[in-house]
Structure 1
Amino acid sequence: MKKLTLFAGLLMTAFTFAQGSPDYGGGLKVNLNEDGSKYFRIISWAQVWAQHNSDRPLDANGNEQSDLNFSLRRARVLMYAQVSKDFLILTHFGLNSLNADNMSPTGTSDGAQLFFHDVWAQYSLGKNHAIGGGLHYWNGISRLNNQSTLNIMTLDNQRQAWATLGLSDQFARHLGVYAKGSFGKFQYRVSVNEAETNNLQAGTTPVDGGGATYTGRRLLGSKDAGKAYAGYFEYGFFDNESNFLPYKVGSYLGTKKVFNVGAGFFMHPNGSVIADANGNLRGEDVNIFAVDAFYDAPLGTKGGALTAYALYQNTDYGKDFRLGTTYETGSMLHAHLGYLLPLKMKYKLQPYIAFDNRQIDAIDDNASQFGIGTNLFLSGHNSKLTLEYQSLKYATSSNVNTITLQAMIYL
C-alpha cells in the first residue's frame, strides 16, 4: 500500500510541475480508499479567443465580415480513474471552435455538439509498460502530434503537425490498440488503428490527371485500406518526462530540465487513391515520417527558463495530394523558441517566436508562417493570457495576418 501511495503522490507531483503553477497543487483528485492508491481525477478547461483578421473574405451572401470575432476555442472535461495499479480508464469529451457561424438556437448544430475525444482502457505490463485500446491519443509522428492543449507554449499547436486529423482519425484520435512504455531514458508508443471511412473527403472521388484523394478505405474497402500504423520513439538526456498519459507538455516553465530527441512515423497502406484515364482506381500508400528535438530548462539563477523545439516532417499523402491550405504532400520545417522572463513578481511573462516553412509538391511552391507572441501566466498554465500575431504566406497569395488574444483557465 505504501508503494501505491508513493506512486500516486509522485504522479500528482509530476502533473503539478508540468503546469508550473504555485497555487494549483494536485487538482481535483478524489480518493476512493484511505491511502489514495485508488482514485479518480477530473480536469476541466476552457480557452476563449478574441481574434482580429482584416483579410477575411466575403461571406456566402457577398457581405463584408467583421474584423473582430469571438469564439470558444476549446471546452473540455477529462476524467481518468485507477482502481488498481494494473488498470486505468480515461474519458475525455468536449467541443472545439464554437463561433457565431456554427452555433444554433437550441445547441444542436455540429459545431455546438459535445463529442468524445478519448475513451480508452489500459492494462499494465509490469512497472514501465502497458497496452490499451479504444479511441486514443497515443499517436506517432512527432511530439506536436501528441501535444497537450493545456500547456502549449504558442497560442495553438502547429496545425500541419496534427497530420492525420480528420483524414484517418477523429480529431487526432484513432480507434485501435496501442502499446507504450520505457526502457530507462528511452520511451516508445506504437499503435495499430482503424482508418476512418467518413473523413474530410467523404464526398470526393479522384479524377484522371488530378492529385490523390484520401479516400482509400471508402473506395477500396477496409480489407485493402482499413488499417493504419503509427509510432513515436524518444530519448531523454536529462530529467525524465512522464508518459503516464499521452499528452506532451509544451513548456515546463523552469520546473524541469528536459532535452529529448525523437523520431516517429505514420503509415496507411492504400490510404489514398488516384484514377487513370479510364476511371480505374489505384491505391497509394500514405507515409509520414518526422524527427524532432525538445529542450526546456531553467536559465540562470533568477527564475528564467528557455523552451526550444525543432521539427522536420516529411509528408506523403499520395501523388500531388492537396486539401485546402492545411494538408499537402511535401515536407515541413518548424521551430519555436520562448523565454520565461526572470521577473520578481507573482505573474510571469514568456515572449516567444515561431516559424515554419512547407514545401508543397502539387503547386511546386512553398508556404511559410511566422508568429510572435507572449504568455502572461497568472497561475502557471492553469490561468494564463496569450497574445499572438501570426502571418501566413501561402504560395503566391497575399499574406493573411491575424492577431489573437486567448484567455485560458483549467482546473
Structure 2
Amino acid sequence: MKNRYPFFLSFFLLAVAVGFAQGSSEYTGGMKVKLNEDGSKYFRIISWAQFWAQHSDNESLNSFGNEESDLNFSMRRARVLMYAQVSDKFLILTHFGLNSQNANNLNPVGESDSSQLFFHDVWGQWSLSNNHAVGGGLHYWNGISRLNNQSTLNMLTLDNNRQSWATIGLSDQFARHMGVYFKGKFDRLQYRVAINEALTNGLDVNGIPAIDDATYNGREILGSKDAGKNYAGYFDYHFLDQESNFLPYKVGSYLGGKEVFNIGAGFFYHPNGSVSLDDNNDFQGEDVAIFAVDAFYDAPVGDKGAAITAYATYQNNDYGTNFTLGQTYETGSMLYGHVGYVLPRENTNLKIQPYLSLSSRSIDAIDDNATRYGIGGNLYLSGHNSKISLEYSNQKYGNLDAVGTLTLQAMIYL
C-alpha cells in the first residue's frame, strides 16, 4: 500500500470511536404519508447518498502528460425514490438520481450529461391476485441472478459485483429496461419474468463487427424487428424465512434480522443482440444468452447480535463471438462469492461487519482469466441507514499488472 493508506485507516478508526460514543439506535428509513385514515392509501419517499474517497495505485497521465492524482473524491450515488399505493390493486414507483459524479465530469453550471438527474425507474403495477402482479415501464424486475436485482441501500460489500449487472448500458439504461414484467410467488417459489425493449444507443454503439469478433449493437445495425426485444427471468426458492417481493430490490445483508436461505436461477436472452460478419463480410446476428445459478444465506448467530451473510453464484455469459468491452463485459464465465460476519457485541445498536469477496472470470477473447478480491468492513451506526465502509480491492486482468484500490465510503439513507 502507498503512504496515503494510513490516512484512510486513521479516518476509519476515528469513525469507529465516534460510533461507539454515540450508540445510535436502528430505525426504518423513509417518510410515509397516509392518504386516508387507515393508511391503505399512502406514498413513501426514500433518499440516500454514498460519498467515496478512493486511492488507487493505477498511475495515469492527463492529456498534457502530467501525472493524475491517486486520491480522488466522488459522489457514488445520490438518489430519491418514491412509491405510492393508491389502492390495494395499483402501485406506482419513480426513482431518480445521480451516479459516479466526480471532479472530471462536474460542469460549471450543472448542465453536462453527468450532472443531470435522470429517472432510474418509472413503472406502474397492477395486482392480479394476492400473490401475482403485472407491471410496465422503465423497471428493475431483472433476470439472471440476485445481484442483478441488488438494492444499493443495503449491500454487504462496498458495491455490487460489477459483472453481475450483466446488461447495464448494453441493452438497458443503468440496469433498467423498458418493458412489461410479471412477478409473484407460488408458496415458497418466487418469480419475476419480463419482455423488454433493447437499448439502441448502447455502450457498444460504435463497435465494428468482424468475422471473429462480435459487437453488441444488433438493434442499431439489424433493426428493431429482428433485434429489438429481449427476455429475462429469475426464480428463487425460499427454504427458511420468506423475503418480500413487494419491490424488486434484493437485500444484500439483513444483519441477522432474518433467517434466510434461498437458491435461485435466472436468465437473459436477446435474439440477434450482437452482430458479427460472415465469410462474405455480411452482417449476421448472434444471440446474447446469459444464465446464472446462485445461493444466499443470512442468519443470526448466538444471542449477542452476531450474524453471518454468505452468497455464491456461477454465471455463464455469451455476448457473441469473442465479445469484450472495457474489461467489464466478456463472453466467458464467472464464479463469484462473498461472506460477511457481524461481530458479537453487548451493544447491538452498533454493528461491525468484516467481509471478504472473490471473483474469477474466464474470458474467451483473450484466452485468459480476470480475478478480483476485496477485503473490508462495515461500521453500522444505525443499521443500513448510517454506515461507514472501508475496502481494499485488488484486480488482475489477463497479463496486465494488478491494480489495488482502497475506498472509504460514508452512506446515509433516510
Shorter-chain TM range is over 0.9
Instruction: Measure, in 1, the Cα distance between the counterparts of 2:40 and 2:260.
Output: 28
Which of these residues, 335, 338, 343, is aligned with residue 336 of structure 1?
A: 338
Shift, 1:349, TM fit? 0.3
Distance 1:226 1:382, change over 3 A: same
Which of these residues, 158, 168, 182, is aligned with residue 179 of structure 1?
A: 182
Instruction: Measure, in 1, the Cα distance between the counterparts of 2:381 and 2:331.
Output: 41
Q: Which residues of 2 match residues 16-55 of structure 1 at below 5 A?
A: 22-25=25-28, 27-55=30-58
Aligned residue in 1 for 2:313: 311
Shift, 1:24, TM fit? 1.8
Shift, 1:87, TM fit? 0.2
Deviations 1:56-98 (A, max 9, x none): 3222222211111000000000000001000000000001000
Instruction: Measure, in 1, the Cα distance between the counterparts of 2:358 and 2:33.
Output: 42
Instruction: Measure, in 1, the Cα distance between the counterparts of 2:207 and 2:361.
Output: 25
Shift, 1:125, TM fit? 0.7
Shift, 1:22, TM fit? 4.2
Instruction: Measure, in 2, the Cα distance between the counterparts of 1:238 and 1:292.
Output: 16
Aligned residue in 2 for 1:238: 240
Shift, 1:277, TM fit? 5.0
Aligned residue in 1 for 2:14: none
Instruction: Measure, in 1, the Cα distance between the counterparts of 2:131 and 2:264.
Output: 19
Aligned residue in 2 for 1:80: 83
Asked if 1 retains the 8 angstrom alpha-carbon contact of 2:80 and 2:95, the reply is: yes
Instruction: Measure, in 1, the Cα distance between the counterparts of 2:222 and 2:192.
Output: 29
Asked if 2 retains the 8 angstrom alpha-carbon contact of 1:228 and 1:268, the reply is: yes
Q: Which moved more, 1:273-282 or 1:357-366?
A: 273-282
- Secondary structure (helix, strand or coil) at the match of 1:368 reads strand
Q: Which residues of 2 match residues 385-396 of structure 1 at below 5 A?
A: 385-396=388-399
Asked if 2 retains the 8 angstrom alpha-carbon contact of 1:205 and 1:215, the reply is: no
Aligned residue in 1 for 2:324: 322
Deviations 1:178-211 (A, max 9, x none): 00001111100000000000000112221344x1
- Secondary structure (helix, strand or coil) at the match of 2:294 reads strand
Deviations 1:145-189 (A, max 9, x none): 000000000000000000000000000000000000011111000
Q: Which residues of 2 match residues 158-237 of structure 1 at below 5 A?
A: 158-209=161-212, 211-237=213-239
- Secondary structure (helix, strand or coil) at the match of 1:223 reads helix
Provide the aligned length of Structure 1 versus Structure 2: 390
2:249 maps to 1:265: no
Instruction: Measure, in 2, the Cα distance between the counterparts of 1:194 and 1:293.
Output: 29
Which of these residues, 148, 151, 155, is aligned with residue 148 of structure 1?
A: 151
Structure 1: unaligned runs, 5 residues or longer: 1-20
Instruction: Measure, in 2, the Cα distance between the counterparts of 1:107 and 1:276.
Output: 46
Normalised by the length of structure 2, the TM-score is: 0.93
Instruction: Measure, in 2, the Cα distance between the counterparts of 1:68 and 1:167.
Output: 30
Which of these residues, 292, 295, 308, is aligned with residue 293 of structure 1?
A: 295
Asked if 2 retains the 8 angstrom alpha-carbon contact of 1:150 and 1:381, the reply is: yes
Aligned residue in 2 for 1:14: none
Instruction: Measure, in 2, the Cα distance between the counterparts of 1:27 and 1:326.
Output: 34
Instruction: Measure, in 2, the Cα distance between the counterparts of 1:195 and 1:92.
Output: 20
Instruction: Measure, in 1, the Cα distance between the counterparts of 2:123 and 2:358.
Output: 34
Aligned residue in 1 for 2:6: none
- Secondary structure (helix, strand or coil) at the match of 1:111 reads helix
Q: Give 2:351's aligned amino acid.
A: K
User: RMSD value over aligned CA atoms?
Assistant: 1.0
Asked if 1 retains the 8 angstrom alpha-carbon contact of 2:392 and 2:407, the reply is: yes
- Secondary structure (helix, strand or coil) at the match of 2:96 reads strand
Structure 2: unaligned runs, 5 residues or longer: 1-23
% identical equivalent positions = 70
